[in-house]
Amino acid sequence: MMTNRNAQPNRRLVLHSLLGAASAWAAPGAWGQNQRNDSDGRLVVLFLRGAYDGLSALVPHGDSNYYALRPNIAIPRPDGTPQTALALDAQFGLHPALAPLMPFWKQGVLTALPAAGSPGTTRSHFDAQHHWEIGIPGKSGNAPGWLNTLAGYHMRAASAAGQTAAQSVAIGVGEANPQILAGSAAVQLVPRGQAATRQGAVGDERTRDAVMRLYSGQDALSQAFRAGADSRMQTAQVLSSGMASPSMESREMLAANNGAGSAQGLLLDAQHLGTLMRQDRRLRLGFLSAGGWDTHANQGAVTGQLANHLGNLAAALVQLRRDFSQTNDLVLVCSEFGRTSAENGTRGTDHGHGNAMWMLGNRVQGGRVHGNWTGLAPANLHEGRDLPVHHDFRAVIAQVLRATQGLGNNEIDALFPGFTWDASLDGLLRA
């Protein structure tokens, strides 16, 4: 006969297999008590797992070193034809696959920071992604994801204001358990692609009745299961679409993806995220990810595997702009680190350091590049090979949190321990 001690782990196994529920991490730290003016901004974080090549997306066509370092994979200087970079200014241009984003640039709602990232120097995908997701470079142990901590802040703020508490204010689409959403605050997790439109095992009436009896108690695990089952069924009923099967990827690239889906499926995931966050305005924080960016070989230039991924990214951002275009909405695009400034012997690029971060939203002082840029001369490169990190990613995000999420200095310091406010970025967002 099974004892009570063994019953709960088995129930947890059933819960995980049926719903892909997230585990609980440590509780977030205490928040400061300073005055704040909360806004209604919705924040969507799009993470490109595998370290995308920002020097191909945001092309430094005004730097002759770029073409010397990349004789085969550099994006040609702008000349007005479709096979060259799209000029943004005298220094930078867009990869032609990102052409759908040019209207946002001209409207002044899209910007890029060419040399941002983590001050940590690891070249490990897993370590670097972990640091980004918990907001603490160099920390290897478990910690709550910073989006989960932010979600907890919003839920407590709503409760303190006497508002009806939402079950969750954060949603992730595409990954089973992203670290950035791990923590004590409840979050909604939606499978990637077509799986999001299926009810899974709980869609079968007999199975659902059986597991609901198993989880009929009032303990926290049973309540969490019932809430998750209801959410899965409701989500599947709302979403209906199809998606092509992703192409085969190398074993190394799949590992670098760390559970993220392919860039090919990103558009559908973006559509699902927008649909669900439109339906429930209490969902203020969204997370998406896409893998396939670890381009060590045959990266391509104007065409090729990277160009295809960038085209999928552009389509997803256009979709996100449709759904997140209110005053304080903002979409943030980032990756764990950049890639080497020089191409390697297999016409790809290796793990680097600094990289381009992107912001899309009405509060963005767009239509121009922000942040420090020192070029690609050998003396200006990190360890003689990579873009430096001129701006800590936490300092970039802190600008967003203050302007669109209502956080004060104490809250931001608690969210990102040890970071320093970067006053050079104070013009990044409109007041």
* Whether the predicted pLDDT of 40 surpasses 80: yes
Copy the structure tokens of residue 350: 């290796």
pLDDT of residue 123: 96
Looking at the chain, the whole-number percentage of residues with pLDDT higher than 70 is: 77
Torsional class of 216: left (φ above 0), alpha (ψ -120 to 50), beta (otherwise) = alpha
Burial 171-185 (b: 16+ CB within 10 A, else e): bbbbbeebbbbbbeb
pTM: 0.80
Higher-pLDDT residue of 353 and 203 is 353
Please give, one letter per residue, the 3-state secondary structure of 203-259: HCHHHHHHHHHHCCCCCHHHHHHHHHHHHHHHHHHHCCCCCCCCCCCCHHHHHHHCC
The pair of structure tokens assigned to 395 is 């300092």
Looking at the DSSP bridge assignments, the partners of residue 262 are 291
pLDDT per position as a tens digit, 318-343: 999 999 999 999 999 999 999 999 99
Provide the pLDDT for residue 22: 35
Q: Residue 346: which of 303, 293, 297 has the closest Cα?
A: 297
Residue 165 gets the label, from left (phi > 0), alpha (psi -120 to 50) or beta, of beta
* Apex 245 CA angle, 243 and 249, nearest 5: 135
CB 369 within 8 A of CB 398: no
* Token digits of residue 402: 């203050």
Map out the domains of the chain with their CATH numbers: 31-197+252-425 (3.40.720)
Pick 390 or 158 by higher pLDDT.
390
Place 207 in a pLDDT band, splitting at 50, 70 and 90: low
pLDDT in tens, 86-123: 999 999 999 999 999 999 999 999 999 999 999 999 99
Q: Supply the pLDDT for residue 163.
A: 80
Is residue 185 predicted with pLDDT exceeding 90? yes
Contact (Cβ atoms closer than 8 angstroms) between residue 55 and residue 293: no
DSSP 340-389: -SS--TTSS--B-S-EEEEEESTTB--SSB-S----S-GGGSBTTTB---
pLDDT in tens, 242-271: 333 434 445 566 667 777 777 789 999 999
Distances (CA, A) of 286 to 22, 182, 275, 319, 325: 15, 13, 12, 14, 14
Residue listed under structure tokens 């990266």 = 299
Whole-number pLDDT of residue 331: 98
Rg of the chain taking only CA atoms, in angstroms: 22
How many CB atoms are closer than 10 A to CB 246?
15
